Structure 1
């Protein structure tokens, strides 16, 4: 892929992760700070294979964060309704 395409993919991933970090449940974890440092650490990458690995890792972080949010929502809904243990 061309450098411009990778750059656009990385910027889009950064924006998505930044938006997800706004709602991160644990404020002491500093999700956005850690994410920013991770992107800055990989800023110097030039090898297309290394760039692709870093992008795939970012996508993995995004999917795991979305799963965490889904679990959080599920637990909140479960607490809202009483359990039916009458069987």
Structure 2
């Protein structure tokens, strides 16, 4: 898969994950768009690979935050003391 295709796939994945962002989807979309536009003129393949790796890390972090939120909600729902 080309770097361009991977970047587009990451953008779409992050956009999808942003639907449930606490500050709202519009806030998340603007910040995401700004982050991607900041590096749009990058030509160095090694630098692009580092940026892709960082974006993949961000995807994992956002997924982890959502899982933690879900866990805490379920814990509060079923265990009133904790």
TM over 0.5: yes
- Distance in 2, matches of 1:78 and 1:38, equals 35
Name 1:5's counterpart in structure 2: 2
- Give the number of aligned pairs: 82
The alignment's TM-score, normalised by the length of structure 1, stands at 0.84
Listed as ranges, the matches of 1:38-49 within 5 Å are 38-49=35-46
**Displacement after TM superposition at 1:29 (Å):** 8.8
* Poorly superposed stretches of 4+, deviation over 3 Å: none
Q: Flag structure 1 segments of 5+ consecutive residues without an equivalent.
A: none
Q: Secondary structure of 1:35's partner?
A: helix
Does residue 33 in structure 1 map to residue 69 in structure 2?
A: no
Q: Note closer, same or farther for the CA distance 1:33–1:84 as it changes in structure 2 (3 Å cut).
A: closer
Q: Flag structure 2 segments of 5+ consecutive residues without an equivalent.
A: none
Q: Note closer, same or farther for the CA distance 1:75–1:45 as it changes in structure 2 (3 Å cut).
A: same
- Distance in 2, matches of 1:71 and 1:29, equals 22
- Quick check: which has more Rg, 1 or 2? 1
Name 1:54's counterpart in structure 2: 51
